[in-house]
Structure 1
């Protein structure tokens, strides 16, 4: 009949909730008597949970083992008349008894009982009230109520799109958190507004208010504006480069194809500026005769050397050469580098209706201003009325309607620094009459124009000139310079500001530096009366030159207007120009900046949005077909493509192989495989032949799905296998890993590393030199070690662990028993559950431990409990032929000292002169009346003592040789008795051996004491009797002597004679 050995692998909780069942996972292995697994066999299993040895819960299972004899079940789900919930886990003295029927029935064999340790008591957690202890990691405080640590929630911990409105604290989003231009009308909160209300600045915040101006303006626009209200536009050519605030040209402001080559600064096109153009990994840009297109990199890896053509610098990191983007793409103009803004954050990132008034920047607004749409953005403006506008302009405009100019602060102060528009920034004749605020031209602003004292400005039909003060009047006639139309209402002339790029209302008075508008900046005949400051004039007075400046004086003559232009204008009248930085991004209509508007080299790297350069935007740079862009150390230039991976299709699979590889030297490519390897001869197997495989190195083979082979002569044939190194290293098991020289990982989940190591067991590990792990879950480390038992472990040199779950460590140690351990030099653990530690230590008895050097060993049973076998040995032997013990403990608890290796007494010493001696202060013997019954006088005494024969003799040492007692020549002269002789007289004090061949007779000299006491008592009784008799005799003698004296006296014997007789 089969003998089953079960080995407990795992016992854990897999629970716990009030709604789901509680159970324990259990795994075991069933084996035949010879240790081989009972593969694919049905078993009947009965499990009993014991509480202090008493059955508390019993259930039955029918299981089927796998190839390795492994079976799995869940305790708590089997067939039982009990309820698993009745088990009281609070009582921790729990054990489990396993019974198995190898035929699958109910004739169970008891396989033993094991204690349940702490792991299953996780079940008891259902009875616990609270957990405790300090929280750590991303938590702080104490359990059960920890809190999240400050700053523990990083961006990576928050799922994209999961921050909702309720998650954000009030007032948490400051101005710098909102992207410029990101606030659309849909993002603004209604703030309780009613129809036709506008947002007005109250000195603290924007609030909905009644539109006090009476509705949208109407009528014909003038000044820098054209068209009709309420939708005027900036007049064509009203904006020049100098008028645009640095950084205000955004992507949408530039017309498609407007940036020609000459508009882009040399070396400003970085990789991030290029559009992906549908490219896949590792493709390069190649010229196809018309444009640059993504293509396979045929150069065989990263290019090196000096880049040429349109590239400069050195590979692999060239840059585009200066002027590589042709001038045909970017034409001369007025858009400079600083005029173009960096990338912006889009509107769709802000929730609708989430922007309240408190969130808006004041944008330089003054009391009672409102936010109005200027066609591009919301700007603070004067609350205007409907119909033809009249009166003083406000908001983004200044002057008087219907011909306003751009108002002060229409371009935010953060954009244009006050006082930075200088004289040179304003084009000659650019500032027309309607660009100058009424009363803003003081006498100090007027040029002397060669005037002499008391002359006045007088109109000569063409211009104002200094003349004798005879009369006065307002200027009339046709405007010129940057102005057009007729006085007193000229406008900025076409082409004074480039293109139609600038939107209404963005150049303000404060943007122009004091004294910046000189005479030549103001167009002739552009200064109307309303532009002049009153300078304290009274009715009828005229401006008169006093030798230094113009001052109000009595009207004596006439003249033409002159002076320095101001506001959004620069230069001098009558021909001013728009001041530098007066035009911001919001003043430019999207898409209206054309090639001619931009200066050469004005578009630098940071002005180009990442991924915005498509192949159509690249200049051909003289490239020919199939050339690629390479860096020559200075610039990117068209260069020859020297190779790389190519897509190949073989046997229906499409993968990638080196362009210069010889297909005859490889097997068919695997689907989506990557073959970077070199094959030095014809082959139908080498290379990446498995689907999704990777092969690199020389003569490598990756034939398994998702496998990887690297190095020289390596082969990865298993699914997800990896082979690294050289000289025949092979990974043939699924998920196997082999690394080093001539290593083999041949089964699922195995790993072999080092030199000549072999891992042939499931999930085994062999590391080192010539190590072998041949069983499932086995591990071998070191040199020439072997782990051939399931779950075994071997390390060191030459050690071998062949038993189930055995461990062998050190040099040439062997662990062949189940769950055995051998550690040291030539240590051997051959019995089940044994441990051998030391030099030549050997543990061959079931569940025994041997330590030291060359212990005796020699057990009767290695696989079951034998009472006479040792359970513990301390060896002191010299070598394998001279084994000896210092101490031997048997499973009965008997202890043998030195040569006594099979003790038959609780403490057993050998028959030897020195080794058989012991010393103590005293030895005590139990002699309590409570343990002695049926007491009576001993039958021995003086008679038996007199039969003993005390002898002097030479006591020989002895030992066991060849199964019998051998007498040695050593020993000493001694005195004593012969046990065999004493046995015939006093058998109780003699120990007669059960086997005289190997055991000596012994005698308990201590037990002679009561016999000697009895003999002494008998001698004393006889002595007392003799003393009594002697006393009586002495008395009788004295009486006879008295009587004799009397007789002598009667018969007349003289005194002398009596004396003589006495003498």
Structure 2
């Protein structure tokens, strides 16, 4: 039978103090009386047990034995510690044994110990709450050196004097509200441990304001992954250069409109460069109907037009022509002997059959034409025995053309070598004196006919036996153009090599075997110019600017005539050229386009293995977009429990699930021991293994250890559903790793290690259209990832991931699922309006039941927390975040601290009331 009674066991207090670390112990107070309710005084052995039910039930935790508990006028107080795990939100009862007497009923534990592990903080440990106090804030009016009301008192005016400050107490940290810190000559702003001459805390937002005090300003800021240098409004600009602000030499400008100028302060396009641009890649899309050509109007606006059926020339004529197209005339002296070939007399329109002479006869004749007579002493060839008149028979200068009947001396009348220049009066032999075919080289002493021996127009091709004049027959400089009837020498008149290039070109052209020199006497190439700087070839134009080729120091020049003319490269012929590259006179270069609008305009794909630095100057009202081909996942194997490694090649085969174009593969690879950088090549083979045809091959580069990496194929390849293909990884002199599973988890293929292994891989099929992977909107400079219409500075449609984030005591960042926005959760009243006390049924939070759960796609990771719909159903809407459709989406666990604090205040009031009751009951009984 019990001899003692436990009358009161309701005073339960947390024992942690404001300056101590958190503890799991709490204080239990009670009153011990005898059976007649008389309070006892003395020392008693007590034992305490914790149960999950008021009667019977299961004991929770260990038994706490407390011998020699001091009891004074019935009142005792003990400190109990059952650990943290027993208080998990469920109800608990305390059983007290005094000596051998078990006190009944058991005392239910109130909510005070649950402050160690409140249900609402089950998934948010107190240590994880930013700025969590080590104890509950005081309340009531402040005094001493303080003024105002707790928990937010202020230091009273003039309360801190020199005597209150210790040596070096007034550091930058003290006088700047903690904003400034100096250490080792380095200055920190919101950074307690500065490591750089000027070091800001790692908090996103504005950092430096160069002009402006609030809102938009000139300054520097940081956002996620972005260093920002900005002006205040769209009408302002950012300039780069050297010198000083008041004497500034500018080299680059970024306009607030988004236009960038290099070498110009007024860029009118997204990128405008006054000078030379160097880039390793650029892509610009365009389209046109097959067969059309790009045509420019007078203002330079280009349009695609059908190829015209004819191309009438226009403009001034040149070359051998003068005047204007389409009706030019032949220029003066433009037609020489080179332009006219032999003319047959029979081809002359209305040519007479004969020319009867008239008038008085002369020379060897006398009388009147057409019936003259032979003058006295006149001899014709009929009177002379053929070959009888030798050179010796003729006195020097004894025969001139007057003594010979025109045309009467035939070839047979003249003995070989009978006539030399000394026998002929200079310029006395006229064309009419020679019968057709009357003179061949055998009748002329080699080199004997001098220039002075021939009268003007005295020799034509009819007087010379075809092919009979050899090079040796002509004395040096014996023939000039005045001695030859224009157009009278036909190709048949010349023997092979009868006139060398240097003889007919005045020495400008020289031949040397099979090569020709133009202005050089010793050519070494098929067409050789002299080693002199300047213009070399003019393709169009006579003087000044022209289409041609030239040489300057260490420079080969290919040029057109004006800035409005171009240079084109391609294949075919001039009138039907298939063009590949065009150099505009304004300096723009087009590859695949005849109308490049920028320094480099490319129609087609660009591949660069060393990086890409490019811009766009077309259509500045359009956004800058980086396009990617939409792709769909086809095959994958992502199970893993190990990896293969080494310098040897590794491969994984797969079975294509769809017919189409394989555009990318994703592998979980890296360098052994994290070697940086690493490189190798990836190949796609037809068939299983590496014995098939290589469909795609490219070099790959990377840094660091194992991680999933996507490789876009430089040469996408066609695959057929159901057919097998192989991915090969070939390291280049570095040990590589590839995640794998040592089980046949992918039945569609095997690896180089055998059928019982599968590497980690994914394959992607190209989509039907290109989509913008990254977009910069020019009007707002908003950046979009996966969206064409970014509404914020960075607008992402999809999943964001971050790694290696810094740790520290930073402000919290909140996310609103209804708008998708992130913001900094600031606490200063500077950012708040309409401040009123929060009124709610805070105790409802105690009704919430924590859950344990897994998330889709990750069944092995269990989490704990509340369900947003449950908290919403309790009416605690300030703690719930809602999505765009107004559905409960997430919980603001940090705000739950406010509710816990109010619950703790309520408990504190109850404790204070119980203390007052105990004090009243024990008053005067000590």
| TM more than 0.5 | no
Q: TM-score range by the shorter chain?
A: under 0.3
Bigger CA radius of gyration: 1
* Structure with the bigger percentage of strand: 2
TM-score, normalised to structure 2's length? 0.24
